[in-house]
Amino acid sequence: MHFTELAAYQDTDVPVITRGEGPYVYDTNGKRYLDGLAGLFVSQVGHGRTEIAEAIAEQSRKLAYFPIWTYAHPTAIELADRLADLAPGDLNRVFFTTSGSEAVESAWKLARQYFKLIGQPTRHKVISRRIAYHGTTMGALSITGLQAIKTPFEPLVPSTIQVPNTNIYRAPVHGDDPEAFGRWAADQVEEAILQNDPESIAAVYVEPVQNSGGCFPPPPGYFQRLREICDRYGVLLVSDEVICAFGRVGAYFGAQRFDYLPDIITFAKGVTSGYVPMGGLIAREHLVEPFREAGNTFLHGSTFAGHPVAAAAALANLDIFEREGLIDHVQANAPAFRATLEKLLDLPIVGDVRGEGYFYGIELVKDKETKETFTDEEAHRLLKGFLSPALFDAGLVCRADDRGEPVVQLSPPLICGPEHFAEMESILREVLTEAWQRI
């Protein structure tokens, strides 16, 4: 099992989920669980959508597979057009992959070859944020800011640089002034560019809301300042939206929600709501222009990218978004989600509740006044030894994560409403209360 401590199941049965319906999933014993993580930030429209299954079946009968290497097929064309229409500004060029990691890596390869073609071959380095997760393939893992999951696979791809993230709860400066903190955090990117030779920097990778570490939203003005810095030094701004795209933060793309124009958007997960794997990137027009010249080719691709069945699933998924007004639904219900989770701040173990849209993290502390956190051993015992199994046993699928400070993450399907928020809060309150008593 992926990212799983196998020893934990030597004397315990592995949970087996057999079916899903709406925002709920069911195990082999028929027990119901609220899918508070949307699988893995994936199931935007919920489980058991027959219209997506029917679209998959119809496409499989018509054209189950054909590559997009020198060819095209109708579903990939239609989906690319639709994504270009949804994306901001002149992000009109779509390159498909089969996963988020591949999307992140493809964006790096595009940036590097683009700069070679326009006569700036020294630009190859990438700046990303500390604790940020960008994927597991060797290039994406190199960009990732989590050293613990990188060390077993070193040496990795060189040329990656980490800068501070936007966790204002633990801000080293300006913790009481979000705008000043946002400017400081963005300025750390400029400092990294200057320290590492501006003409060697190809791209800056950022998530609209950083996942790893527990949902860090951007401070006011952060992305606008970051855009200015990237423009000043000729660096590409990559918005990694593998999680944040397709309604997760209340817009089709996080860049729209926070009002900035990236050069590349990477996506995956929610584009099909997980019914078939798919990912990709959307690039601005100027990045594709050099490849339109005779003799130039973007020397990258994969067998299953733009798969007809995956594209059909994505189109059916987007049809549901439009028909049911899911973006408006998230925008209307996000304040209630926040308010419901913030009720947990009365618990002594809850230090911070943060996030955006339907994407939240709850940071756990030993002392609310001092923000004292847990030791590595305490965090392991708290999260893996108690919280993860206890929350699941109580009927809630979520993530108890120790990448950074201990957090519980929630990312429910976008079809959820106040009754599901209340269910999450009730389970969390009961289990977190018991967790505090065990400290």
Instruction: Indicate whether 10 pLDDT > 90.
Output: no
pLDDT at position 34 is 98
pLDDT at position 257 is 98
Digit-coded pLDDT (tens) for 246-283: 999 999 999 999 999 999 999 999 999 999 999 999 99
State the average pLDDT over residues 19-34.
Answer: 98
Digit-coded pLDDT (tens) for 321-331: 999 999 999 99
Percent of the chain with pLDDT over 90: 94
- CA–CA gap between residue 388 and residue 217 (Å, rounded): 24
State the average pLDDT over residues 202-222.
Answer: 97
pLDDT at position 331 is 98
Lateral strand order in the sheet of 17-21: 17-21, 24-27, 32-35, 396-397
pLDDT at position 176 is 96
For the purposes of burial, counting CB atoms within 10 Å of the CB of 337, is it exposed (0-12), middle (13-18) or buried (19 or more)?
A: buried
Residue 6's contacts (CB-CB under 8 Å, 6 or more residues apart) are none
Tell me which residue has tokens 């801000």: 171
pLDDT at position 8 is 82
DSSP type of residue 306: T
- CA–CA gap between residue 178 and residue 172 (Å, rounded): 12
pLDDT at position 6 is 87
pLDDT at position 60 is 98
Digit-coded pLDDT (tens) for 287-307: 999 999 999 999 999 999 999
Instruction: Indicate whether 367 pLDDT > 90.
Output: yes
CA angle in degrees (0–180, nearest 5) for 33-406-277: 50
Confidence of residue 384 (pLDDT cuts 50, 70, 90): confident
Confidence of residue 237 (pLDDT cuts 50, 70, 90): very high
Instruction: Indicate whether 240 pLDDT > 90.
Output: yes
State the average pLDDT over residues 28-39.
Answer: 97
Confidence of residue 404 (pLDDT cuts 50, 70, 90): confident
Q: Chain-wide mean pLDDT for the chain?
A: 97
State the average pLDDT over residues 32-51.
Answer: 98
Percent of the chain with pLDDT over 70: 100
Digit-coded pLDDT (tens) for 118-177: 999 999 999 999 999 999 999 999 999 999 999 999 999 999 999 999 999 999 999 999
Confidence of residue 424 (pLDDT cuts 50, 70, 90): very high
Residue 81's contacts (CB-CB under 8 Å, 6 or more residues apart) are none
Lateral strand order in the sheet of 350-356: 350-356, 359-364, 407-410, 399-401
Confidence of residue 7 (pLDDT cuts 50, 70, 90): confident
Helix axis angle for 326-342 and 418-438, nearest 10°, is: 30
Q: Is 319 helix (H, G, I), strand (E, B) or coil?
A: helix
Instruction: Indicate whether 402 pLDDT > 90.
Output: no
In 254-305, at which residue ranges do the beta strands (DSSP E only) sit?
A: 264-267, 279-284
Handedness of CA 400, 402, 405, 411 (dihedral sign): negative
Exposure b/e, 347-362, CB count within 10 A at least 16 = b:
bebbbbbbbbbbbbbb
**Cβ atoms of residues 225 and 251 within 8 Å:** no
How many whole angstroms from its chain centre is CA 427? 25
Confidence of residue 40 (pLDDT cuts 50, 70, 90): very high
Digit-coded pLDDT (tens) for 71-110: 999 999 999 999 999 999 999 999 999 999 999 999 999 9
pLDDT at position 311 is 98
pLDDT at position 173 is 97
Instruction: Indicate whether 193 pLDDT > 90.
Output: yes
pLDDT at position 309 is 98
Q: Is 42 helix (H, G, I), strand (E, B) or coil?
A: coil
Longest alpha-carbon distance in the chain: 69
Confidence of residue 380 (pLDDT cuts 50, 70, 90): confident
Confidence of residue 9 (pLDDT cuts 50, 70, 90): confident
pLDDT at position 283 is 98
Would you tell me how many other CB atoms lie within 10 Å of the CB of residue 161?
A: 18
State the average pLDDT over residues 203-211.
Answer: 98
Instruction: Indicate whether 403 pLDDT > 90.
Output: no
